[in-house]
Structure 1
Amino acid sequence: MSLNPVMLAVRFVLELLAWGSFGVYGWRAFDSPWRYVLVVVLPIAAMALWGVFTVPGDPSRSGESPVAVAGPIRLLVELAVFGGGALALWLAQLPRWSLALAAALVVYHALAYDRISWLLTTGRSGQP
């Protein structure tokens, strides 16, 4: 799997956008004092999910894994966070932003076919 710095930078920006989308949803979807809590808690929950469940030896990360999971599980976590960000924008009544993020995610994942292939064939130990 190649570690193209441009692809890593794009993935990082997509991560930030997804996390921020959860905050936007928390702010826009609730018209109560809970919005102040949700604008912080929802992105932190997505970040925790993203950072905890990892594949050991993932070359795009530090290689360490708080909770080791197989590659296909990690792919599901990534799709849940990225897709959840797009869904959060949709639910926050920002359909154009939602569709733009979803389109960017489709393009990114099409270009990151080597990472997708690696995740699909990697076990819990980080080995195929």
Structure 2
Amino acid sequence: MIIGARSAWQITKGGHRKRHGRRRIAGASFDKAESRTSAESLPCLIPTAGSAKPVCQLTSLGATMTQNAPPMNPANLLLRFLLEIAALTGLAMGGWHVAFGWPRPLMAVGLPVVALAIWGIFRVPNDPSSNGRALISIGGVGRLIIEAVVFASGVAGFFMAGQSAIGISVGGAVAIHYCFSYRRIGWLLAASK
């Protein structure tokens, strides 16, 4: 659903663009068509051949997404954000303690920047843990591998810095986060098939 005063373009069953008007209800603007979480509500890049409904495929680097992901609990999203910050902090601390001399500040800044770039660039389209956009689309398994490497590296960074209690706490919180994200993990694994 797009909120605003503009008209929305949708892809019809025949693959043609169709413009839908807007109507106002209590000061808000809504599509005439109901909001759907099915594949019909996705922007269609490449219509699937022979389908009755406009099921779409995003084919960059093999990612095939046919529906929106299940929504995530806001508390779990907050925990995820804090864990991302903790992982970047752990990488900075580990980079500081692994290097000596002039490379020390470069490692302390460079490791988190590289991890942040990889985390933000390689995404799964329509992922509920982000804004849904992907600069470079990857499959669900690839995304889970990136997340595991970043979180594990952050935990290892705390251990290298001599902060084992923080490392254990962050590692446990990551495990709890993924226990509560089982629907997202299932969606990511299904997206890779």
Task: Please state whether the residue corresponding to 2:90 is helix, strand or coil.
Answer: helix
Within the candidate set 28, 33, 50, 2:102 is matched to 33
Report the count of equivalent residues: 124
Alpha-carbon shift at residue 93 of structure 1 (Å): 2.4
Quick check: 1:5 aligned with 2:74?
A: yes
Q: CA deviation at 1:29?
A: 2.2
Counterpart check, 1:17 vs 2:79: no
TM-score for the superposition, normalised by structure 2: 0.61
Question: Quick check: which one's helix share is greater?
Answer: 1
Query: Once the two structures are superposed, what CA deviation does each residue of 1:35-57 show, in whole Å capped at 9, x if it has no partner?
Result: 11111111001101100110012
User: Which deviates further from its counterpart, 5-14 or 83-92?
Assistant: 83-92
Read off the aligned partner of 1:19 and give its amino acid letter.
L
Give the letter for the 2:93 counterpart: V
Alignment root-mean-square deviation, CA = 1.4
Identical positions, percent: 32
Cα distance, 1:28 vs. partner?
Answer: 2.0
Secondary structure of 2:81's aligned partner: helix
Question: In structure 2, what is the Cα distance between the partners aligned to 1:2 and 1:66?
Answer: 21
The structure carrying a bigger strand percent of its residues is 2
Contact 2:72 2:181 in 1 (8 A): no
Cα drift, residue 115 of structure 1: 1.3
Contact 2:92–2:112 under 8 Å retained in 1: yes
Q: Could you list the runs of 5+ residues in structure 1 that have no partner in the other structure? A: none
Moved over 6 A (4+): none
From 103, 121, 128, the counterpart of 2:172: 103
Amino acid at match of 1:4: N
Match of 2:174, as an amino acid? Answer: L
Equivalent of 2:113 in 20, 29, 44 = 44
